[in-house]
């Protein structure tokens, strides 16, 4: 028993000495490593590399998703600001033109832009005439009358076709009714007047007709109401020009207008009446003919 104990003690002491020697040897600065150290270092590096690639891939993927979400949110904010910028640009340009025209008339009292509004909600829409008519929840008792303009976020969408005590029918700009006309202006260096008259249902574009042939209409030009028809306030946004064609006789041009709002998706609108009285005949429905 003592002999066995001595062998174990001797073996333990030798092991400790060898371990201390190896530690001291490994801590010593050397230009070359022994093959066991090289093997251990290479093995450790290989294992670390194997686990590092998938971990880095997952980390990069998660980071990419966060960046994508951030980009999406930024795009939404930028789009909202762009819509606000387009509207502001339209108003500023028209105000500038008006200011230049009337800057010498400081006592100007009438303003074709002024109007009062009635908030309303769409409560009905005929599937067979989806792009022509809708029904709102305000009527004569709320001050709604025939031929009043109907807007959505300062964008013209149509006019009141008829009204009862509690509801009203709204005729959209996209209606194919020939009497459905709006006096409009194409903004730009060479301002052009015409009539929103008709709808291309294949391209979902409004038709602005009777534009003089010598007017240079640029693509993406903004189109607004002129206020000269006697009913609609001036400066309401209609859309932008996407195409222009000369008629078969070469006397006039027709501009194809992309509506500034989706006429197929309307939930809440405002019925507006401009404060300056009009001179057009409202009885025949051709309220916006110049």
pLDDT digits (tens, 9 = 90+) for 30-39: 555 566 656 5
**Residue 204 to residue 194: CA distance in whole angstroms:** 19
Pick left, alpha or beta for residue 67 (phi over 0 → left; psi -120 to 50 → alpha; otherwise beta). alpha
Question: What are the helix and strand counts (H, E) for the chain?
Answer: 2, 12
How many Å separate Cα 117 from the centre of its chain? 24
The string of pLDDT tens digits covering residues 62-71 is: 566 666 777 7
- Domain spanning 114-275: which superfamily? Rod shape-determining protein MreC, domain 2 (2.40.10.350)
**Three-state secondary structure call for residue 280:** coil
% of residues, the chain, pLDDT over 70? 70
What pLDDT shows up at residue 94?
Answer: 72
Q: What band does 279 get if pLDDT is binned at 50, 70 and 90?
A: very low
**Residue 217 to residue 195: CA distance in whole angstroms:** 14
Q: What band does 44 get if pLDDT is binned at 50, 70 and 90?
A: low
What pLDDT shows up at residue 26?
Answer: 57
Q: What band does 228 get if pLDDT is binned at 50, 70 and 90?
A: confident
CA distance readout (Å), 137 to 122, 183, 284:
6, 27, 25
pLDDT at residue 187 tops 80: yes
What is the average per-residue pLDDT within 1-22?
Answer: 66
CB 277 within 8 Å of CB 239: no
What pLDDT shows up at residue 287?
Answer: 44
pLDDT at residue 47 tops 70: no
Q: Quickly count: other Cβ atoms within 10 Å of residue 208's Cβ.
A: 28
- Name the more confident of 153 and 95: 153
What pLDDT shows up at residue 120?
Answer: 95
What pLDDT shows up at residue 207?
Answer: 95
End-to-end CA distance of the chain: 125
Provide CB contacts within 8 A for 174, sequence distance 6+.
Answer: 131, 132, 199, 201, 204, 206, 259, 263
Q: What band does 249 get if pLDDT is binned at 50, 70 and 90?
A: confident
Low-confidence winner among 62-71, 79-88, 212-221, 227-236 (lowest mean pLDDT) = 62-71
% of residues, the chain, pLDDT over 90? 39
**Residue 164 to residue 170: CA distance in whole angstroms:** 12
Predicted structure pTM score: 0.61
Q: What band does 266 get if pLDDT is binned at 50, 70 and 90?
A: very high
Highest mean pLDDT among 4-13, 160-169, 222-231, 269-278: 160-169
């Amino acid at each position: 028993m003592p002999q066995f104990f001595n062998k174990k003690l001797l073996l333990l002491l030798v092991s400790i000495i060898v371990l201390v020697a190896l530690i001291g040897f490994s801590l010593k600065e050397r230009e070359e490593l022994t093959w066991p150290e090289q093997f251990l270092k290479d093995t450790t590096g290989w294992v670390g590399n194997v686990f590092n690639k998938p971990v880095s891939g997952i980390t990069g993927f998660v980071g990419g998703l966060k960046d994508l979400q951030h980009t999406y949110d930024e795009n939404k904010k930028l789009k909202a600001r762009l819509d606000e910028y387009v509207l502001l640009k339209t108003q500023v340009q028209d105000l500038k033109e008006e200011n230049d025209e009337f800057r010498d008339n400081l006592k100007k009292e009438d303003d074709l832009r002024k109007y009062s509004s009635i908030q309303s909600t769409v409560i009905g829409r005929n599937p067979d005439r989806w792009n022509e008519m809708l029904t709102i929840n305000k009527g004569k008792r709320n001050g709604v009358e025939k031929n009043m303009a109907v807007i959505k976020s300062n964008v013209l969408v149509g006019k009141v076709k008829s009204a009862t005590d509690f509801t009203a029918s709204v005729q959209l700009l996209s209606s194919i009714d020939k009497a459905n006309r709006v006096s409009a202006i194409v903004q730009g260096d060479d301002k052009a007047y015409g009539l929103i008259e008709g709808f291309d249902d294949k391209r979902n574009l409004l038709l602005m007709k009777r534009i003089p042939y010598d007017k240079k209409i640029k693509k993406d030009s903004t189109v607004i109401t002129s206020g000269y028809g006697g009913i609609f306030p001036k400066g309401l946004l209609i859309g932008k020009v996407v195409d222009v064609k000369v008629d078969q006789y070469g006397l006039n041009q027709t501009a194809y207008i992309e509506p500034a709002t989706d006429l197929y998706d309307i939930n809440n609108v405002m019925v507006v009446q401009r404060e300056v009285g009009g001179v057009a005949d409202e009885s025949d429905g051709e309220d916006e003919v110049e």
